[in-house]
Amino acid sequence: MLELFNITFKNPIWTASGVFGYGLKYKRVSRGVGAIVTKGITLKPRMGNPPPRIYETASGLINWVGLENPGVSVFCKEILPQLKEIPTRIIVNVAGFAIEEFGEIVETIGNEVDGFELNISCPNVREGGTAFGQDPKIAGQVMERVRKRTSLPLIAKLTANFCDPLRIAQACVDAGADGISLINTVYGLAYDVNNKQPLICGGLSGPAIKPFALYCVQRVREVGVPIIGIGGITSGKDAYEFMLAGASAVEVGSAILRDPYSPLRIVKELEKYMATHKSGKDLKEAR
């Protein structure tokens, strides 16, 4: 059991956004994890990008999915009622392309879920396409606006691309964030050597980014709100390392694409690790 944001979670292993849909397919997994973080929801439906959308590298994936989703109204009408039947915590991942969109989505969903994770790694299309999450001022503005529209827990999901996540995290906390999750994918590129052209340019995830993600979690721990660690977690030992770095919970991402049941295995492995290596009390001291 884990107590965060005045909510009880079954355990600290959550599914990351974008790799587990809305948790409706593998219900045994959805019931067994601490929370499902949904696929990113935008104000309007999005078709996503043309193929190729995913490319496997030596130790991770590059994806260029482009936030394909049915939009917030269809989510509320068709997906949320099914999701609410599963006995698990639901965190909705929200993506916007202008500052006000985040708040509109959150208000439309209302109090039907357990909290929101704001994906501030999206490009701010009104301001030249720089990600909201690369500029502390803009990241703070997003959080401040959303804070006014919900009393549910708000987690800011940070990018670590070309910015200092500590400054962004601090701005989000100052503007009312209850928690910080990190990291989103890292810029990545693969070439088609036959055509001498880029094959895919998108977000790198998986074991390749784990050391960097751990570093980022350790860097932002001083902000003083719960941190959710994400990046290359494939085992209970990986999850435990994130907890040593300062995370209260973790999200499993790309590992789910290889094995949808991996979060259940990771829950068990982490329990074993906690029991044999350190008690919960020691972990708090390590933070």
Ligand X SMILES: Cc1cc2nc3c(=O)[nH]c(=O)nc-3n(C[C@H](O)[C@H](O)[C@H](O)COP(=O)(O)O)c2cc1C
CA angle 8, 36, 287 (to 5 degrees): 55
Q: Which is nearer to ligand X, 63 or 248 (CB)?
A: 63
Please answer whether residues 136 and 143 qualify as being in contact, where contact means their C-beta atoms are separated by less than 8 angstroms: no
Sign of torsion, CA 23 24 25 26?
Answer: positive
Please answer whether residues 205 and 61 qualify as being in contact, where contact means their C-beta atoms are separated by less than 8 angstroms: yes
Shortest Cβ 62–ligand X spacing (Å): 9
Tell me the C-alpha distance between 170 and 275, whole Å. 33
DSSP 123: B
Q: Which is nearer to ligand X, 63 or 170 (CB)?
A: 63
Residues found in the chain: 287
Tell me the C-alpha distance between 266 and 19, whole Å. 16
Instruction: State which amino acid sits at residue 155.
Output: I
Q: 49: which 2 tokens?
A: 């990008």
Contacts of 271 (CB under 8 A, 6+ apart): 11, 236
Catalytic residue among 76, 122, 163, 201: 122
Shortest Cβ 78–ligand X spacing (Å): 18
Please answer whether residues 190 and 200 qualify as being in contact, where contact means their C-beta atoms are separated by less than 8 angstroms: yes
| Beta-bridge partner residues of 91 | 37, 115
Q: Which is nearer to ligand X, 170 or 185 (CB)?
A: 185
**Beta carbons within 10 angstroms of residue 265's beta carbon:** 16
* CA Rg value for the chain: 18
Q: Which is nearer to ligand X, 162 or 284 (CB)?
A: 162
Q: Which is nearer to ligand X, 79 or 233 (CB)?
A: 233
Please answer whether residues 127 and 99 qualify as being in contact, where contact means their C-beta atoms are separated by less than 8 angstroms: no
Q: 67: which 2 tokens?
A: 């936030």
**Whose CB is nearest to ligand X?**
18
Shortest Cβ 273–ligand X spacing (Å): 18
Tell me the C-alpha distance between 95 and 184, whole Å. 13
Shortest Cβ 233–ligand X spacing (Å): 5
Residues that bind ligand X (CB under 6 A): 16-19, 39-40, 61, 63, 65, 67, 93, 119, 157, 184-185, 205-206, 209, 230-233, 252-255
Shortest Cβ 121–ligand X spacing (Å): 6
122 is known as an active-site residue: yes
Q: Which is nearer to ligand X, 170 or 205 (CB)?
A: 205
Shortest Cβ 100–ligand X spacing (Å): 19
Catalytically annotated residues: 122
